[in-house]
Structure 1
Amino acid sequence: MVEDNYTSPSEFILLGFTNREDLQVMCFVLFLAIYVVTFIGNLGVIALIRMDSCLHTPMYFFLSHLSLLDVCYSSTIIPQALLNVLVEKKVISFIRLCTGMLAGAYLGGVISSTIHTVSIFRLPFCRSKTINHFFCDGPPLLALSCSDTHAIEAMVSAVVGFNVLSTTVFILISYLLVLATVMRMRSAAGRRKAFSTCASHFISIALYYGSSLFMYLRPSSRQSSKHDEVVSMLYSVAVPMLNPLIYSLRNTDMKNAMRKAKSRVLSSLSIHGSLPW
């Protein structure tokens, strides 16, 4: 029993509404009908508002986004409920949950980058075609546009601000929980090691978010300075280089794995006598 308290769960069990088979069929039909009506109804509202120019007003603009949220919200709940009615073992896999969180992170990145790309390349570029930067970043491209870019800059800032704020809150909460756990440790050496690890992690996070915020949320400027290139180097070059050192090579398990891999390579070389090439 003590060991079970420290074992990570592989799945979570859902009780559902009822164990009676006749009621389960009724629940399945009811939930399926609700989902179909929700999906078709809300998508119909979105399409109708999009197609009819008379509905292009602030009220219907927000109504269309409410419909989109309703589709997303119901799609995360009802399909799982329908599946649980059909299967005997009503569980949510711990791996499925982790995969969903990972997919959400990738999806957020794809949506954010798509908004940046589409919004920027809809602008006319009639100035110099020379980008004063070492890679094709958003702010230097906006500086080349011959149109008013304030609306695009505001939208990009809003997207970046939301991403940074939401992820920062999640990270801070995670570190507060880690800090609370570390403070309960009895070993002073263990606390020092944990604080050292967390400090290096925090430095990497601060470099990435700080440089990103400086590039995308600072007041707009038509001139791309060398300072911008240096700051861009931090989040695009320096942080990806430091992350393996911070998150992997300082990890005991990773060090042990590297030693084992080194031993296997040396053993293989001693058996074959030389390298294959």
Structure 2
Amino acid sequence: MSQLVTVTDSTSATTMHRPIRRWVRTINASAESRLGRFLYGAGAVALVFAVWQVLWSLGVLPATALPSAGQMLGALLDLLGSGAFWASVWSTVSIVILGLVVIIVIAAPLSILLGLSRFAEESTWLVVEFLKPIPPVALIPLGLLLWGPTPGMKMVLIVFGAIWPLLTQLVYGVREVNATSLDMARSYHLGWWLTTSRIVIPSMTPFAMTGLRIAAAIALIISIVTEMIGGAAGLGQDIVVAQSAGAIKEMYALIFAAGLLGLLVNTVFKAAEKPLLFWHPSHREEAK
């Protein structure tokens, strides 16, 4: 009798959980789509703003140090209509783009050399491991002494701080080259150029996109921090000026704009991966 009751209870519990499991599967399936990811993300942001506004209205958040969500968004809309704001955005973004170009020019051939030559790797690993942990912010005083608060100072610090993720990923990509493919290239006497362009570079590309996306985010952070501390023109300088002038709403709006800029940079690189890596298994599986 007790066994019958146990079986009946377990069966009823399973029956009760079926709608819940079906609902969870539906939620997960909708979240996997592009529109679903966007809607869920936008919903989360809207919820944060709603909680922010409610807490500010109740007096939980200090009005002297933090504006309401509506005030911050209003200040952001005013900034979007200002030419000075877009000039600051361009000052920040343009040097990031130029820094990334320089990083690619340096990291691409260097990674091939380090990945294919054991002698080059053993000769330079000590220098690389010594330079990697040095924060670019610590070099701002040196940059100010050498170049002053100029775009050149920002670019040097961006290259120094953001090159390591891309270089590391590219070296890993070179090491992942199929040994059989390299042996075949040597057997057919393809030469250095054909071997590099047809075998090595395609193997590096997935690693390069990951490293480049990380490097772009780091470059943007370095650019804004350098502008805040070093006084170079850009969003970082505008944030400091707004804080010094007591323009709290504008300060938070500029901080929010910097976050949106980082989101845009990440979105652009994610979108660039699909046409460049359409042949990669991960993107073929995602397309399915």
TM-score by length of 2: 0.27
TM-score by length of 1: 0.28
Task: Give the helix-richer structure, 1 or 2.
Answer: 2
